[in-house]
Structure 1
Amino acid sequence: MASFFVVEDHALTSLGIRGVLSEQPDFVCAGFASQKGEALQKLSVLSESKSLPEIVILDLFLGEESGIDLLKEINRQFPGIKVLIYSMFEKPGIVSLALENGAKGFVSKSTREEELITAVKMVLDGGNYVQHNLVPPLFTYRTMLDSFTKQEQNIFKLILERKNRSQIAAELNIASRSLENYLSRIYSKTGCKGHEELIKKFGE
């Protein structure tokens, strides 16, 4: 039996995921959570009893909290757990961000239940899975990203994580004026006018 854990802030969606996977003969639910702190606490308890799940099904945005931050923490604290992203956001920037931070797969909530099951099975078998129609835009996006400097890439990715200017400046230890100069170049290269347009174009 393969055990799974669901992190999803919408109760009905969480219940639906657990229901669909639990109907599979080889899957058993190890638990669920709706927020980052709750998820890490429950996984710690499971770790102590040596019953960690093999896979976490993770939503990318948990209310005001970032699923990317939780993804990083799961990989740091529980490196044996595989993480599959199940998100309503499917633009190439957010898919790439999840994969770069250790997700083994990415499936959109708009897809069929069968694809979620297929993705879970493939990831559990040691593979990677990205929903098929999300792959071509991902290659186009990464080609665009190659035209950015390293610092521009860092800033751009933090914007897609929904970090504001002060958070970006603090995390990268750069002055506000320098950040504005970087942002100006990013907007120019992407044809966007600001954070909101960048997120809408690449991160939703």
Structure 2
Amino acid sequence: MSSSEDCGPESTAENAPIRLLLADDQDLVRGGLAALLELEPDLTVVAAVGRGDEVLAAVQARRPDVALVDIEMPGADGLAVAAQLTREAPDCRCLIVTTFGRPGYLRRAMDAGAAGFIVKDTPAEQLAAAVRRVAAGERVVDPQLAAASLAGGENPFTAREQEVLRAAADGASVRAIAETIHLSPGTVRNHLSAIIGKTHAQNRHDAARIAAEHGWL
């Protein structure tokens, strides 16, 4: 996938359509979303990328009004992309469109500055409506996810505990984790103990699973 797919000339019409960028690492998903959205007379896809670290450059080059961004992408995830666009390209609003409808992801996306969060199985007309609302300055959140997020509470981990749990998620030993994140093995054990207690997990592997299911990592 090239860093950016030029998807058409810029419009200079007085009532110009809403300009969109699509960021998803699956070619079929990008193509399907583009086909659906281009059916709407007031929407036009001006760029599409397959990596999170390609989004900012494409935004700067093509100046979309809204970036539709997946969460799990190579290069940078959608949450990092949302934060980057908020800092460096605030005129482009970020709408997370993802398969991973996890309450923790929703909270993190909103904290990162995303203007909306919806799941990929949203009907086409609702997706188009969400894009229009985000372009108009509103925030759009899947109502079921919003309710689940409120019920689930805040992410229980500190930043350091999240770092330890990410390092532990692939089964690394305590010593390997300690070397990776520059802590003593004893400190790592203390963090893992706190993590297990907060998740009521059986062990650190179970804690990593619970955290992933909630979108806390």
Aligned with residue 187 of structure 1, among 171, 174, 196: 196
User: CA offset at residue 94 of structure 1?
Assistant: 1.2
Cα contact 2:71–2:78 (8 A) shared by 1: yes
SS of structure 2 residue aligned to 1:62: coil
SS of structure 1 residue aligned to 2:25: coil
SS of structure 2 residue aligned to 1:86: strand
Matched, 1:119 2:130: yes
1:167-178 alignment runs, 5 A limit: 170=181, 177-178=186-187
CA deviation vs aligned residue, 1:60-84 (integer Å, no higher than 9, x gap): 0114642222222222211221100
| Counterpart position of 1:97 | 108
Which structure has more helix as a fraction of its residues?
A: 1
Cα contact 2:106–2:146 (8 A) shared by 1: no
User: CA offset at residue 155 of structure 1?
Assistant: 4.3
SS of structure 1 residue aligned to 2:114: coil
Cα contact 2:52–2:74 (8 A) shared by 1: no
Q: Distance in 1 between matches of 2:183 and 2:111?
A: 23
User: CA offset at residue 174 of structure 1?
Assistant: 5.7
Matched, 1:79 2:90: yes
Cα contact 2:99–2:119 (8 A) shared by 1: yes
User: CA offset at residue 116 of structure 1?
Assistant: 1.4
1:141-152 alignment runs, 5 A limit: 141-142=152-153, 144-145=154-155, 148=156, 152=157
| Counterpart position of 2:43 | 27
Q: Return the index of the structure with the highest Cα Rg.
A: 2
Larger relative contact order, structure 1 or 2 (CA cutoff 8 Å, min sep 6) = 1
TM-score (norm 1): 0.80
For structure 1, list consecutive stretches of 5 or more residues without a partner in the other structure.
47-51
| Counterpart position of 1:154 | 159
Cα contact 1:92–1:202 (8 A) shared by 2: yes
User: CA offset at residue 106 of structure 1?
Assistant: 0.5
User: CA offset at residue 163 of structure 1?
Assistant: 4.0
Q: Percent identity?
A: 21
Q: Distance in 1 between matches of 2:117 and 2:163?
A: 19
For structure 2, list consecutive stretches of 5 or more residues without a partner in the other structure.
1-16, 169-176
Matched, 1:61 2:72: yes
Matched, 1:164 2:167: yes
CA deviation vs aligned residue, 1:65-124 (integer Å, no higher than 9, x gap): 422222222222112211000011011111111111111111111322222122111111
TM-score (norm 2): 0.75
- Computed over aligned residues only, the root mean square deviation of the Cα atoms, in angstroms, reads 2.6
Q: Give aligned pairs, total.
A: 188
SS of structure 1 residue aligned to 2:64: coil
CA deviation vs aligned residue, 1:167-194 (integer Å, no higher than 9, x gap): 9x74xx8655434423322221222333
SS of structure 1 residue aligned to 2:158: helix
| Counterpart position of 1:49 | none
Give the partner amino acid of 2:149. L
SS of structure 2 residue aligned to 1:115: helix
